[in-house]
Copies of this chain bind each other. A is one copy, B any other.
Amino acid sequence: MTFLRNAWYAAAWSSELADGTLARTFLDEPVVLFRGEDGKAVALADMCPHRFAPLSLGRIGGDTIRCPYHGLVFDKMGACVHNPHGRGVRPSSLSVRSYPVLERDSVLWIWMGDAALAGATPPPSFAFLDKDGWATIRGMLGVGANYELVTDNLMDLSHAEFLHPFIAPEGSAAGIRYRAEQDDDRVAAIHDMPDQPNTPLFELLLGKTVTRIDGYANTYWEAPANMRLETCATAIEPADGGRAEMLQAHLLTPETETSTHYFWAISRDLCLDDQELEAMLRFGIDAAFRNEDEPMIQAVQGRMRGRPLMDMSPALLPMDEAAVRARRILARRIAEEQKARAVEARDEGQPAAHACAAE
């Protein structure tokens, strides 16, 4: 499998990275994250170029990290700045790859492709996560499955009735008016749910006196796998029962071909200081992803046995349209990127494979 490389991926929530190192694998590449003296996050390949020890087991010293095996010291750009042995020679090959990192909306974003291209592309905006007047619950989950299977899950919310009793009551799937929308390389999965029974989740926000709602849940995807999910319930019985909106971020970063870092966050603009509600929301939502979605997605991957989804000729239904569009866009983008790399490699007189490895 090939990943889209010239893209921003969520590497961590800002709060995950404090004093020590954070070792995490992205796109099958081990990376070590740490903060320099100015507090800015640094990402380096987590492998010393000398004898391939994981730098993440080493020691941070100000703006540098020391290899745990032979003590070579690297700076924030990955250059070896100290060799404690003999005359301290530092051959030019003594450096590790550094990855562009950006911190925004309390997300640490990492760029896994050509560093020269990172500046031209901002990471997607999830401003609501840190917005005044909003309260955000953040979570993270390791999913034992390919990230596109998780995208599929989020681009077709009709599964909620069958997997998530807390979120969608029995019979709710039939009330969904689904359509896919595409704007350039962005895809939206629109789920309109007019005149529905209230759900346990929205009862937490609107109260149990609200019995019927107009709802929607719309997922806005962009490549590789960053999604904004807007959910909303407006009371219709009683008509003055209020309106509750939740804006969500679902950020998927491939760890390997068969595992995914799943960062999720849910922001609300009501009941901001209700600690009990907050605890119930956090528990209920985390449980839905961890105990209901994740095992199902992992079971699906088990059944697929490494075969690509489309090679298995799935019997696609109308509600798969947005997910399928997202898959096609991503496949095209990856193919384009591969082609550009091959051209570049040829122009430099190198085989394409070599160019990849040299990155």
Using a CB–CB cutoff of 8 Å, the interface residues on chain A facing chain B are 30, 46-47, 49-54, 57, 66-71, 83-87, 89, 91, 93-94, 152, 156, 158-159, 161-163, 173-174, 176, 178, 296, 299-300, 302-304, 309, 312-320
Contact = CB atoms under 8 A, between A and B. Distances in A.
Given A49-B314, A91-B315, 9 more contacts: A46-B303, A50-B316, A50-B320, A52-B304, A54-B303, A70-B317, A85-B174, A85-B318, A87-B318
A22 to B, nearest CB: 16
Nearest to A58: B162
Contact of A83 (B57, B94, B152, B317): B317
Nearest to A158: B85
A51 to B, nearest CB: 6
A303 B83 CA distance: 22
Contacts of A46: 303
Given A52-B300, A53-B300, A85-B176, A159 B318 contact: no
21 contacts: A30-B303, A49-B315, A50-B314, A50-B317, A51-B300, A52-B303, A52-B314, A53-B296, A57-B296, A69-B296, A69-B300, A70-B156, A71-B158, A71-B159, A84-B173, A85-B158, A85-B176, A86-B178, A86-B319, A87-B318, A89-B318
A71 B152 CA distance: 16
Q: Which 8 A-B pairs rank lowest in CB-CB distance, beginning with the nearest?
A: A93-B315, A49-B315, A71-B162, A52-B303, A47-B303, A94-B315, A84-B173, A52-B300
A87 B163 CA distance: 21
A133 to B, nearest CB: 36
Contacts of A178: 85-86
Contact of A158 (B70, B159, B162, B319): B70
Contact of A162 (B68, B299, B312): B68
A160 B13 CA distance: 36
Copies in the complex: 3
Most B-side CB within 10 Å, residue of A54, A86, A94, A309: A86
Contacts of A49: 314-315
Given A71-B161, A174-B85, A314 B51 contact: yes
A320 B67 CA distance: 16
Contacts of A319: 70, 85-86
Contact of A53 (B57, B303, B312): B303
A94 B54 CA distance: 49
Contacts of A47: 303
Contacts of A299: 53-54, 57
A169 B178 CA distance: 67
A66 B47 CA distance: 48
A315 to B, nearest CB: 4
A312 B45 CA distance: 14
B91 A159 contact: no
B84 A174 contact: yes
A70 B163 CA distance: 8
A300 B156 CA distance: 42
